[in-house]
């Protein structure tokens, strides 16, 4: 029988009612044998995510040497879930152990990981599945680098003898047993790692939306849902802000060609979005673009110098300055005598003056300036490379709305066009592009 690995996000763990829904979903399909869970998320808009509360505990430990007040709120949250589920579980014993160990290890990563740990303990008890601690599966180096291949072998070995299991997402451990975490939202990655290792035929990622939309519904009214998209399209959209799925979660499943199905825990009858290795011809011919996503908070470093194109090593010297100051960049469109470097404001903060002065001393440009208040909007879709006039339609849509393009960049795959525009035009730009293609 084929295997389906399922991952449930924070809203699916938020309270007993949601967890009961999760259990019903798992029990409806015997192929759903391995379950990865997140920490409890918000129950309502003014609520707090458990992971945020755990980070607050760590902060309290650093300032006051204890975190009893904050941890008591976490304790009551989990005790309430267990009580409302009506399961026989001594959750106080687990909570006492967690509180002791938070003082013992005094680590932000350890503290943050305990929400997933406790969620998995509870869900395993509710389902009658085995609980497998992620620290015994996910292998990290001492400096926190994830060991993908060693982990793959470890998960294969452990789960080969386990018929059904619940596994905490988000974290693992190094050889000394010290807990390390993925970046925020990393439970998606944990689920993908398990799917690859057990040879799953499908990786279901359950959240609180009916899959990907072709644009942010907070910006575009009633955007069309995306029924199917490719791994590459997912990477582009997720990286540019469509945060339904962690952008790194495709790497474990890509090598094995395992599809990902984004589903809604609270609307399980919806098919959601299927993410596949490649789109077939019918999908490519059906649409020009797949989706639009964007990010705010960028600056552009404009550099001009006559005969730049003939100066050997010019770009390398400029980028060496950024490397010296530990600054990463997003895009690097160039002309004969000009180049533009798109940099997140968070990377450039408080370094603008020293960066400019160092670039001046290294390459002696004719002109250099930094323009802030820039946002990036990515239009993504494999179908774009098959349709002449796509860039023209996109630029025309922005021109019609009197939106100036500060930067334009197209990937070599021809499946994305990224424009830089003033942040004040951000929402209007997304709407203009969306309505130019979704008619």
211 and 85 share one domain: yes
Number of domains in the chain: 2
Count of C-beta atoms within a 10 Å radius of residue 359:
20
On whether residue 197 sits in a domain, the answer given is yes
147 and 51 share one domain: yes
Give the pLDDT score at 8.
Answer: 98
Tokens representing 365 are 């440009």
% of the chain exceeding 90 in pLDDT: 82
248 and 340 share one domain: no
The answer to whether 6 and 204 have CB atoms below 8 angstroms apart is yes
On whether residue 284 sits in a domain, the answer given is no
The answer to whether 276 and 212 have CB atoms below 8 angstroms apart is no
Summarised one tens digit per residue, pLDDT across range 201-217 is: 999 999 999 998 999 99
198 and 304 share one domain: no
246 and 101 share one domain: yes
Average pLDDT across the chain, whole number: 94
Q: Is 259 helix (H, G, I), strand (E, B) or coil?
A: coil
271 and 296 share one domain: no
Count of C-beta atoms within a 10 Å radius of residue 49:
18
Give the pLDDT score at 382.
Answer: 85
* DSSP string covering 116-158: HHHHHHHHHHHHTPEE--GGGT-BB-TTS-B-HHHHHHHHHHH
Tell which of 221, 251, 278 closes a domain: 278
Tell which of 221, 245, 278 closes a domain: 278
| Per-position b or e across 149-160, b if 16+ CB within 10 A of its CB | eebbebbeeebe
Closest by CA position to 32, among listed 127, 98, 139, 136: 127
224 and 82 share one domain: yes
Instruction: Write the CB contacts of 245 (distance below 8 Å, at least 6 apart in sequence).
Output: 188, 205, 234, 238, 260, 262, 275
Closest by CA position to 61, among listed 105, 118, 113, 114: 105
212 and 255 share one domain: yes
Summarised one tens digit per residue, pLDDT across range 320-338 is: 999 999 999 998 988 899 9
Count of C-beta atoms within a 10 Å radius of residue 105:
14
The answer to whether 357 and 274 have CB atoms below 8 angstroms apart is no
On whether residue 285 sits in a domain, the answer given is no
Summarised one tens digit per residue, pLDDT across range 415-427 is: 889 999 999 999 9
302 and 273 share one domain: no
Q: What's the mean pLDDT in 118-137? A: 98
Summarised one tens digit per residue, pLDDT across range 240-287 is: 877 778 878 888 998 899 999 999 999 999 999 999 988 877 776 778
On whether residue 246 sits in a domain, the answer given is yes
Structure confidence at residue 410 as a pLDDT band (50, 70, 90): confident
> Residue 294's beta-bridge partner residues?
377
Torsion from C-alpha of 188, 59, 349, 146, nearest 10 degrees = -30
The answer to whether 412 and 433 have CB atoms below 8 angstroms apart is no
On whether residue 82 sits in a domain, the answer given is yes
Domain with 38 in it = 4-278
pTM equals 0.88
On whether residue 49 sits in a domain, the answer given is yes
Q: Is the predicted pLDDT of residue 389 greater than 90, yes or no?
A: no
Q: Is the predicted pLDDT of residue 148 greater than 80, yes or no?
A: yes
Q: Is the predicted pLDDT of residue 71 greater than 90, yes or no?
A: yes
Give the pLDDT score at 99.
Answer: 97
CATH number for the domain that contains residue 376: 3.30.2130.10
Instruction: Write the CB contacts of 7 (distance below 8 Å, at least 6 apart in sequence).
Output: 35, 36, 37, 38, 169, 187, 188, 190, 191, 203, 204, 205, 206
CATH number for the domain that contains residue 129: 3.40.1160.10
Q: Enter the DSSP assignment of 225.
A: B
Phi-psi bin for 292: left (phi > 0), alpha (psi -120 to 50), beta?
Answer: beta
Tell which of 253, 278, 303 closes a domain: 278
360 and 264 share one domain: no
Q: Output 407-415 pairs: Cβ under 8 A, ≥24 positions apart.
A: 407/300, 407/331, 407/333, 407/340, 407/342, 407/374, 408/333, 409/331, 409/333, 411/236, 413/232, 413/385, 414/384, 414/385, 415/232, 415/233, 415/236, 415/380, 415/381, 415/382, 415/384, 415/385
Q: Enter the DSSP assignment of 223.
A: P
77 and 102 share one domain: yes
On whether residue 262 sits in a domain, the answer given is yes
Count of C-beta atoms within a 10 Å radius of residue 422:
16
158 and 89 share one domain: yes
Residue 142 backbone phi and psi in degrees, to 5: -60, -30
On whether residue 319 sits in a domain, the answer given is yes
């Amino acid at each position: 029988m084929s295997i389906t690995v399922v991952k449930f996000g924070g809203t699916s763990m938020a309270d007993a009612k949601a967890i009961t829904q999760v259990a019903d979903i798992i029990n409806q399909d015997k192929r759903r044998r391995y379950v990865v869970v997140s920490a409890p998320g918000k129950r309502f808009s003014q609520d707090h995510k458990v992971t945020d509360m755990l980070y607050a505990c760590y902060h309290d430990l650093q300032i006051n040497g204890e975190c009893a007040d904050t941890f008591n709120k976490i304790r009551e949250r989990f005790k309430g879930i267990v009580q409302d589920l009506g399961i026989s579980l001594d959750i106080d014993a687990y909570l006492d152990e967690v509180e002791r160990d938070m003082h013992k290890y005094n680590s932000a990563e350890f503290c943050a990981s305990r929400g997933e740990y406790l969620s998995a303990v509870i869900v395993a008890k509710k389902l009658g599945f085995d609980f497998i601690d992620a620290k015994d599966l996910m292998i990290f180096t001492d400096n926190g680098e994830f060991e993908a291949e060693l982990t793959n072998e470890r998960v294969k070995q452990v789960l080969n003898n386990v018929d059904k299991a619940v596994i905490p997402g988000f974290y693992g451990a190094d050889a000394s047993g010290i807990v390390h975490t993925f970046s925020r939202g990393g439970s998606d990655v944990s689920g993908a790692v398990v799917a690859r290792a057990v040879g799953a035929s499908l990786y279901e990622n359950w959240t609180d939306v009916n899959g990907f939309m072709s644009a942010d519904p907070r910006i575009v009214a009633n955007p069309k849902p995306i029924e199917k998209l490719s791994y590459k399209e997912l990477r582009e959209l997720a990286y540019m802000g469509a945060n339904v799925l962690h952008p790194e979660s495709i790497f474990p499943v890509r090598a094995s060609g395992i599809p990902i199905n984004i589903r809604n825990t609270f609307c399980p009858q919806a098919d959601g979005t299927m993410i596949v290795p490649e789109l077939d011809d019918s999908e490519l011919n059906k649409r020009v673009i797949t989706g639009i996503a964007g990010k705010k908070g960028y600056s552009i470093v404009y550099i001009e110098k006559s005969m730049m194109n003939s100066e050997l090593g010019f770009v390398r010297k400029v980028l060496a300055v950024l490397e010296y100051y530990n600054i990463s960049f997003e895009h690097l469109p160039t002309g004969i005598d000009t180049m533009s470097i798109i940099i997140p404001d968070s990377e450039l903060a408080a370094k603008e003056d020293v960066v400019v002065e160092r670039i001046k001393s290294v390459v002696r440009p004719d002109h250099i300036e930094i323009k802030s208040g820039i946002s990036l909007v990515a239009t993504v879709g494999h179908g774009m490379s098959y349709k002449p006039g796509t860039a023209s339609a996109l630029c025309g849509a922005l021109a019609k709305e009197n939106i100036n393009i500060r930067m334009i960049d197209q990937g070599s795959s021809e499946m994305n066009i990224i424009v830089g525009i003033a942040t004040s035009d951000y929402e209007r730009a997304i709407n203009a592009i969306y309505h130019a293609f979704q008619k």
